[in-house]
Amino acid sequence: MLRRMTRLLSGARQLDPGRFLHRGSPAPQSLDAHLDDQRPRAVSCTSEDDPARHGEQHAALHYHIPLQDLKTVFPQGLPPRFIMQVKTFNEACLMVRKPALELLHYLKNTNFAHPAVRYVLYGEKGTGKTLSLCHVVHFCAKQDWLILHIPDAHLWVKNCRGLLQSSYNKQRFDQPVEASIWLKNFKTANERFLSQIKVQEKYVWNKRESTEKGSPLGAVVEQGLTRVRNATDAVGIVLKELKNQSCLGAFHLLVAVDGVNALWGRTSLKREDKSLIAPEELALVCSLRKMVRNDWHGGAIVLTLSQTGSLFKPRKAYLPQELLGKEGFDALDPFIPILVSNYNPKEFESCIQYYLENKWLQHEKAHTEEGKKELLFLSDANPGQLERLCAYL
């Protein structure tokens, strides 16, 4: 009912509910739409597809990610709504925004002799932290870094079915399912490194199986994938090895964790006697915490805070102090905070143009000024909200 709001027509006094959608004669409006298509797509898209060359002049423009790249670089980690959009439009376009540009600038100027710098992307819900992270990951992948991308740390602290007691450390718990999924995606993302990196210690899995010193990392990953019981340990080994070897300089390591506040929050997992498990008692969480410490060099750590999947945190919390808690904040200190905020007018306009060019917005008023103002008001320039507003029902 609210959609049929009466509108004041300037000069005319008709109060016609439900007719404002069809104001004016239909013919000129369809012509208008045609003209929109024929305009070059440079309005909202840029042809610069290499993130390394993105600069200030590309701010608020969309750039393409080839779908092939998408499969290798991002087997995991893209937000589900974005994946749906990619499937619909048959192309993956990411907007170049200031926080990502800032991060790229820092990354380009990293000194690999110094300890890894931690960058924390934080902001309100729906402002684009995850996609900024993906932009950075794409850049690093193009630069041939080794990507250690944990798509959502919250998945490791809630809703886990098979919890096993760890064989390595009796007090900890293993999560075979999550670990194996992650190993699979890690393998897809970093195929070429798996054969190059050699393990530096001997690891005994059980009475019959062991990995010799000097064998490629791929062997450890295979072991984790085939023997699901050892998957968590395999993950731990991979992380340890990578950390140690990145200091040697053979490759650059990017540790990208989305929802890092899960590592220091609470879990919703329970033991058999229904007592809660603390995050420290999860092996995966422990190894990840060690990874995120800045006692290694040769790479960078990019983290994102997220309230959306977090447990027991109020909806309006978005600051690092609130989401990480004292423990997490101390563990991550010092870090460089990067605020991701809502769209500025230029970015908003660009986003709407992108939708219009893809013929996603079908409403007659979508390309008029009033329509844009309505969308701006209703979404308050929040990217997530705008996407939901423009989505199909």
Partner 1 sequence: MAAPCVSCYAALSCRLFLGGRVSLSQKQGVWKAAAAELQTGTGSQILRLRHTTGVSTKKNVAALRRETYTVDFIKKQIEEFNIGKRHLANMMGEDPETFTQEDIDKAIAYLFPSGLFEKQARPIMKHPEQIFPKQRAIQWGEDGRPFHFLFYTGKQAYYSLMHEAYGKLLEVEKRQNQLQAKGLFSEKTKTKDLIDSRWLIKEELEEMLVEKLSDQDYAQFIRLLERLLTLHCGSEEEFVQRFRRSVTIQSKKQLIEPVQYDEQGMAFSTSEGKRKSAKAEAIVYGHGSGRIKVNGIDYLLYFPVTQDREQLMFPFHFLDRLGKHDTTCTVSGGGRSSQAGAIRLAVARALCSFVTEEEVEWMRQAGLLTADPRVKERKKPGQEGARRKFTWKKR
The residues binding partner 1 (CB under 8 A) are 2, 5-8, 10, 13, 15, 124, 315-316, 370, 373-374, 376-380, 382, 385, 388-389
- Minimal distance in Å, beta carbon 180 to partner 1? 36
- Minimal distance in Å, beta carbon 382 to partner 1? 6
Of 13 and 208, which has the nearer Cβ to partner 1?
A: 13
| CA-closest candidate to residue 289, choices 262, 266, 313, 314 | 262
Of 82 and 348, which has the nearer Cβ to partner 1?
A: 348
Sign of CA dihedral 353, 384, 53, 105: positive
- Minimal distance in Å, beta carbon 126 to partner 1? 9
361 is written with which tokens? 């917005």
- Minimal distance in Å, beta carbon 21 to partner 1? 14
* Residue that is written with structure tokens 């960078």 in the block: 300
Give the CA diameter of the chain. 88
Of 201 and 380, which has the nearer Cβ to partner 1?
A: 380
Of 22 and 270, which has the nearer Cβ to partner 1?
A: 22
**Mutual angle of helices 383-390 and 80-89, in 10-degree steps:** 50
- Minimal distance in Å, beta carbon 379 to partner 1? 8
Of 297 and 372, which has the nearer Cβ to partner 1?
A: 372
- Minimal distance in Å, beta carbon 373 to partner 1? 4
**Mutual angle of helices 345-357 and 26-38, in 10-degree steps:** 100
According to DSSP, the β-strands at 164-165 and 173-174 are antiparallel
Of 144 and 370, which has the nearer Cβ to partner 1?
A: 370
C-alpha separations of 382 from 88, 231, 269, 305, 356 in Å: 21, 39, 33, 17, 18
C-alpha separations of 368 from 32, 110, 120, 361, 365 in Å: 10, 45, 38, 12, 5
Whether 90 contacts 273, CB under 8 Å? no
Of 5 and 27, which has the nearer Cβ to partner 1?
A: 5
* Residue that is written with structure tokens 């194996």 in the block: 180
- Minimal distance in Å, beta carbon 378 to partner 1? 5
